[in-house]
Amino acid sequence: MPYFYIITAPDRELQLAQAELSVMAGGSIEGRAGWSNVAVDISHAAYVNLCVRQIACAGSLEELCAAIACQGLRADGFAVRVVRQASNVSETTPRLCKQVADAIVGSPNLDAPRVEFCLLIRGTGLWFGRIVSRSLRTWQSAPRLPHQYSCALEPRFARALVNLVAAAGDKLLDMCCGIGTVVRQALIAGVDAYGWEVNERIAQKAAANLAAMGYNNRIIVTDARKSAGRFDAVVADLPYGLTSCVETGFYGQMLEAAGRLAPRAVVVAGRNIQQLAEKLGYRVIVSAQVPKTRLTRHVYLLAAG
């Protein structure tokens, strides 16, 4: 595969990170690396950190340097970034960089590189290539908000949900928007996002949070199960711990509403709802579990029909 990708994620969010990479670039994924036939713009990615055009791969550092030298690779003002995902190569990072740099024709410039290479070290081998896209970590760019909420998603998690289901220019609805975390993350990524929230007080906080970032109000107070509209995609971070609601069919009603509103949905639930989603006619494209203290969030990318 001509491109490899590197994930940066804590263990508990690794499945979500792998889901993000799978949806963005496809291909095969092992741990915190993936290989794909396509290069994609990952500037707004939450967990996918680097997209690298592969130049060489080998079982040892010596073989890798020989393969690079063999290609007569030229670059002026370059830097080599080392990503270690295994401890099987004992050389220090500066020594590794020096050995790889010696195989490249041209001069390094570590302070202001014009070309950046990546050396990926894994238990199964070493990969080397040129970085063609990187996450700009724009999920971090939201300022501290006037209103917080104990149920709110972490900004990075919310950005990953957006990336699972929408691209820049898509019209996205967060059916249960809380204080607007997903809507904000979507807007930063260039998605035309809107929020619905049944609780008027919380909806007001979402509107104030958007206003604090200079966005106009895109929040409507409504019960998502009873409202109509048409969107490219929906996100539904469903209430957790509402056992009585779950028992009385709340999750099913929300899934049915999602199917009326958009052809694809990302749903977050406090329990496994795969069977329920399939019974309602959805295909599960990817799923991930994200543990959080005493709760596990179950994330599903669903396609209608």
Instruction: By CB under 6 A, name the binding residues for ligand SAM.
Output: 149, 151-153, 175-179, 181-182, 196-199, 202, 223-225, 237, 239
Nearer to ligand SAM, 52 or 193 (CB): 193
* Least separation in angstroms between CB 239 and ligand SAM: 4
Could you tell me the CA-to-CA distances from 254 to 13, 16, 44, 199, 250 in Å, in that order?
A: 25, 22, 28, 16, 6
Hey, which residues does 146 pair with through a beta bridge?
none
Nearer to ligand SAM, 117 or 196 (CB): 196
Nearer to ligand SAM, 152 or 234 (CB): 152
Q: Which tokens sit at 107? A: 């001069």
Query: By C-alpha distance, which of 30, 270, 1, 285 is closest to 151?
Result: 270
Nearer to ligand SAM, 111 or 247 (CB): 247
How far apart, in whole angstroms, are the C-alpha atoms of residue 16 and residue 28? 15
Query: Residue with CB nearest ligand SAM?
Result: 178
* Least separation in angstroms between CB 156 and ligand SAM: 12
Give the neighbor-by-neighbor strand order of the sheet with 171-174: 219-221, 192-197, 171-174, 233-237, 264-269, 295-304, 282-292
* Least separation in angstroms between CB 42 and ligand SAM: 23
Query: Coil, strand, or helix at residue 83?
Result: strand
Nearer to ligand SAM, 65 or 267 (CB): 267
* Least separation in angstroms between CB 226 and ligand SAM: 8
How far apart, in whole angstroms, are the C-alpha atoms of residue 7 and residue 18? 8
* Least separation in angstroms between CB 200 and ligand SAM: 10
Contacts of 105 (CB under 8 A, 6+ apart): 72, 73, 74, 75
